[in-house]
Amino acid sequence: MAVDVRTSKEMSGAAAPKALRVGFILSKSFTLSAFALFVDTLRLASDSEDRSRRVNCDWDVISSTRNFISSSSGIQVAPTAPFADPSSFDYIAVVGGLLNVEEPIDSYARTYLRKAADAGVGLIGLCTGSFILAEAGLLKGHTACVSWLHHRDFRARYPDIEATSEQIFRFDGKVATCAGGSSVADLAATLVRHHVGEAAERNALEILQIRHRRDATDVQPRNPLGLEARDRRVHLAIMMMEQHTEDLLSIDSIATMTNVSRRQLERLFESDMGASPSAIYMKIRMAAALTMVMRTNKPLIEIALETGFESLSHFTRRFRAAFGDTPSQIRRDGRRQAS
């Protein structure tokens, strides 16, 4: 039997306050799926079944202009409201997109975000929205959750801001950041559960065909080099290795960060990977080096340093052992084939 979730105020025609209100700021070339997953979770949680009334949740796409905003896929979205008092929202969510876009949001939006932060409104960075929050100076003292795909870029741009790619999303005080992809629905469902309730969360997830909400501590799904790890600790260790190909971590440090002893980590790797942690780490470093040799024009010494080698000669020996040719030969042959 369907349950009418309207309050007596709504039935009498008076507007009831929404349990959760979110304002969306869409960057130039924003990720459409991140916006759509979040707003659809709110839509389905706001009402019973699929009736889509704004009973428990409300949302607006806010902007300084009425101009359409183009997503990275070319689909355009129109703003629905101007910048107003940020305190009218529980959260302002910035939806990021392509990283090569100059000034992804305008100065009015940056000022508005700072005003919202000063007012104690929650801020959310979706996908590369974390970059936008960092650029606006709103992640100082916070740890940002970024996708494994953008981890190196984030660390290069904002070396003074802590970043993690080990979680799908993260709450850090009044700031939430999310790796993007399907994890946006998990973050939105977490907010729904907190502000609206379990029944609303369940309604949204069931209609979205999501079996269960993942928690913030869930590890991002990533299998570098096709290294499929059954054990969560091995998976986490491999993610750390991939994120630290230049500033190398010791195996002891990786073991500590995964809450196991070095001996236990070595046993787990032998069981899951059939190789030691050191061997897998070297394989990951070599794969990163091969990608840079083939796809960039960086000097070889720079690639060597970025993959944790102190000298070009040591790097070249390791590279030849891994791939059968020197970096110079592979780069030259690759260019020959491309031409």
What is the predicted pLDDT for the residue at 225?
A: 64
Sequence spans of domains, the chain: 8-207, 222-339
- Where does the chain have alpha helices with state H? 8-11, 32-46, 107-118, 129-135, 151-157, 183-195, 198-207, 232-243, 251-257, 262-272, 277-295, 300-306, 312-323, 327-338
Cβ neighbours for 103, distance < 8 A, ≥ 6 positions apart? 28
Structure token digits, residue 144: 């940002």
Element at 144 (helix H, strand E): strand 143-145
What is the predicted pLDDT for the residue at 332?
A: 85
What is the predicted pLDDT for the residue at 221?
A: 72
Kindly report, residue by residue over 170-196, the tens digit of the pLDDT. 999 999 999 999 999 999 999 999 999
Structure token digits, residue 173: 């005080």
The mean pLDDT value for 144-167 works out to: 90
CATH topology of domain 8-207: Rossmann fold (3.40.50)
> What's the pTM value of the predicted model, to 2 decimals?
0.73
- pLDDT of 292 higher than 60: yes
The mean pLDDT value for 224-234 works out to: 78
Q: How confident is the model at residue 283 (pLDDT cuts 50, 70, 90)?
A: very high
Kindly report, residue by residue over 55-102, the tens digit of the pLDDT. 999 999 999 999 999 999 999 999 999 999 999 999 999 999 999 999
Q: How confident is the model at residue 33 (pLDDT cuts 50, 70, 90)?
A: very high
What is the predicted pLDDT for the residue at 337?
A: 55
- pLDDT of 5 higher than 50: no
How far apart are the C-alpha atoms of 327 and 129, rounded to whole Å? 36
Q: Are 35 and 26 in contact (CB under 8 A)?
A: yes
Of all residues in the chain, the percent with pLDDT exceeding 90 is 73
What homologous superfamily is domain 222-339 in, according to CATH?
Homeodomain-like (1.10.10.60)
What distances in angstroms separate CA 60 from CA 88, 97, 319, one per listed residue?
Answer: 11, 19, 52
Kindly report, residue by residue over 238-270, the tens digit of the pLDDT. 988 988 888 899 999 999 999 999 999 999 999
Higher pLDDT, 165 or 27: 27
Q: How confident is the model at residue 16 (pLDDT cuts 50, 70, 90)?
A: low
Range scoring the smallest mean pLDDT among 10-14, 54-58, 125-129, 333-337: 10-14
Q: How confident is the model at residue 1 (pLDDT cuts 50, 70, 90)?
A: very low
What pairs with residue 141 in β-bridges?
Answer: none
